[in-house]
Chains A and B, each alone.
Chain A
Amino acid sequence: MTGHLKTWPIILALSILSAPLVLMYAYLFIDTVTNSPPGSFIPNEFTLEHWAFLWHTPPGRPSIWRVTFNSLLFAASTSLLVIVVSSMAGYVLSRLNVPARGFFLAGVMVLHAFPAITLIVAIFLVLQMIGLYNTLIGVILVKAAIDMPLGIWLMKGFYDTVPWEIEMAGIQDGASRFTVWRKLVLPQVKPGIFALWLFAFLLGWSEFILPQVLAPSGDVQVLSVYLASLIADDNNFDMALFKSVGLFYIAPVLILFFVFQNYLMNIYGGGSKG
């Protein structure tokens, strides 16, 4: 009984403190399916009109499905590029005796710490010059390059936990270095690769600045840019529409995170038992 008496003030305090957050999330959802009279928080009618963007494309805006597909393509391509390059580069940095290994390791670390936003003007100019401005390919390449140092570093960490005897045994068994990597080592770091893929996918899905600057318009818009353009549009200001699109935008992230949160934790654990 005393335990309850002691804990209830804490619970009350926490409830009051977190109430604004809870209310915000609640209204993020409630406002997308209801209308409220002006000056009131209490909704008075149920409506699906705020979700009309799903089946009706307003003039001057790209279709939501086109934009969603772009986002998906963007996140999938960047994450795929990141895991392919990182799983190979991480192995090389972890195991092979390459020249200037220390330099590369330090370089990857510095690049990871480097704020990408400071490069944006230079990247913009480069993309414009080689004709990849306002294309998905251009922004995919840039995003993948920026995420790669983290990926390489993480994969190196995963490879470091694989016992070297397994590789030596493979070599004695007659396998080439590449086969050893592909058939023996890669399966040991599979959970790591999956976690990295998920991580890179979520990073790509939520990326805003790069697509906004490098691929801002029309057919190559991604969801985050589409969402920002809603709020920037002073003529048709519609808070409920903004909330609906926002909810539509974060839903896949939430689902992925809930389903695979254990794998994401793996990244911070730095290794796996396979």
Chain B
Amino acid sequence: MRILLDKFSKSFGAVKVIEDMTLEIKDGEMLALLGPSGCGKSTTLFAICGIHKVTGGRIYFGDRDMTDLPSQERNVGVVFQSYALYPHMNVAENIAFPLRIRNLPGAEIKRLVDEMADLVHIGNLLDRRPAELSGGQQQRVALARALVRRPNVLLLDEPLANLDAKLRLEMRSEIRRIQLETGITAILVTHDQVEAMSMCDRIAIMNAGQIIQIATPKEMYRNPRTTFVAGFLGNPPIAFVEAEARDGMLAVKNADIRLPVPPDAVTPPDGTPVIIGIRPENLGPEGDAIIRGRVSFIETQGRENLYDIKLENGSVLRSIQRVRDDISLDDEVEWRVRSDRLFVFAENGERL
């Protein structure tokens, strides 16, 4: 079902958390609300499921205005960060709870619970109590409980935050598989860019109560609208250097480095201060513009090495390359960047 937030605002007392936010989630789409803590992403989620009353604007599910309906009538499935399973019920009773509330006949409940347990692969755990399950299994039960009543939309509030690293990988693809199999519209709230990029169709990146950019993960990575977006996506993260437009080129401040303006950017007038963003994978032996510096740090990552190079003005760029033995700490290097992959931002962080 299509979800539409129309000029949605939320404030707690005098504190405005979200102002005039408009966001559309397409039918069957999985959208990530990505942002640092305190950016209002969880508030948005709680407004959609009805836990928070909105201060302004409307919320539509399909064509239906849900703004003033209580949570119970919105039919939203929520998976909480702590899973919020009912500790005194076993797995089957947990999954059946939303159906029992609806007074479905017992045989029907059993059929739906079994079907859902098969979907999330917990068919053999139905008699257990939540305390007897591992984190990943609890997560699956929470998913099953949220999905069993065929909700209009599935909301996931940092569902992977409480899992250890290996399980997180596994549940990432599991959640996506279950979402695709059920074809349900889903919203994932997360502060982890890897989760957002790997699980979702589109990402809405938020900061300070506003959506900065909505795009597919690929588009957002390739084409960030601001320095905030560029800095949030990518691991190892992008590096920024201050520069100035000069004679149609970009001159890095206090350093003898000149980079061409990338083809997709507007050439700024001479003397304009700019910020150049260079992703680690675009700095290395290949490219068309030269950067000189000294290797200040080497981090081994197994398949690749991450090199920090310090420019003569003191700013640090990162380069990720396949492991090579010819570079050691404090070496002077002359590497290149692909100028078509540079990002140029104005001083206020907006992309040029």
Contact = CB atoms under 8 A, between A and B. Distances in A.
Contacts, number: 55
Interface in A154-177: 163, 165-166, 168-176
A99 interface: no
A187 B88 contact: yes
Nearest to A274: B87
B102 A172 contact: no
A183 B88 CA distance: 10
B60 interface: no
B232 interface: no
Contacts of B50: 171
A169 B80 contact: yes
Given A168-B78, A169-B78, A179-B101, A174 B149 contact: yes
B43 to A, nearest CB: 14
B84 A174 contact: no
A174 B75 contact: yes
User: How would you classify the secondary structure of chain B's contact residues: helix, strand, loop or mixed?
Assistant: loop
A171 B71 contact: yes
B80 A165 contact: yes
B348 to A, nearest CB: 39
Interface string B137-175: 000000001100100000000000000000000000000
Given A169-B78, A172-B49, A174-B72, A184 B86 contact: yes
Contacts of B267: none
B72 A176 contact: yes
B101 A165 contact: no
A164 to B, nearest CB: 9
A166 B149 CA distance: 18
Nearest to B86: A184
Contacts of B51: 168, 171
B252 to A, nearest CB: 50
Contacts of B262: none
B82 A165 contact: yes
Interface residues of B, number: 24
Most buried by A among B72, B78, B88: B72
A188 interface: yes
B80 A168 contact: yes
Given A168-B51, A168-B78, A173 B98 contact: yes
Nearest to B80: A165
Contact of B78 (A163, A172, A176, A187): A172
B97 interface: yes
B309 interface: no
A172 B81 CA distance: 15
Nearest to B46: A168
Contacts of B71: 171-172
B80 A173 contact: no
A183 B146 CA distance: 18
A20 B173 CA distance: 73
B34 to A, nearest CB: 22
B84 A166 contact: yes
Contacts of B277: none
Interface string B90-107: 000000011001100000
Contacts of B274: none
A29 B145 CA distance: 60
B295 interface: no
A184 B130 CA distance: 14
A224 B102 CA distance: 52
A172 B73 CA distance: 9
A19 to B, nearest CB: 49
A216 to B, nearest CB: 45
A172 B82 contact: no
A163 B84 contact: yes
B77 interface: yes
A170 B72 CA distance: 9
B76 interface: yes
Contact of B76 (A172, A187, A188): A172
B80 A175 contact: no
Contacts of A173: 97-98, 101, 145, 149
Given A171-B71, A174-B149, A188 B88 contact: yes
B53 to A, nearest CB: 12
Contacts of B149: 173-174
A126 to B, nearest CB: 42
Contacts of B77: 172
Contacts of B72: 171, 174-176
B101 A169 contact: no
A168 B84 contact: yes
B88 A163 contact: no
A274 B80 contact: no
8 contacts: A166-B86, A166-B87, A170-B86, A171-B71, A173-B97, A174-B98, A174-B102, A175-B97
Interface of B: 49-51, 71-72, 75-78, 80-82, 84-88, 97-98, 101-102, 145-146, 149
10 closest residue pairs by CB, A with B: A165-B84, A173-B98, A169-B84, A187-B88, A174-B101, A165-B80, A172-B78, A171-B71, A175-B101, A174-B72
Given A169-B145, A176-B72, A188-B87, 6 more contacts: A166-B84, A168-B78, A169-B84, A172-B71, A173-B145, A274-B87
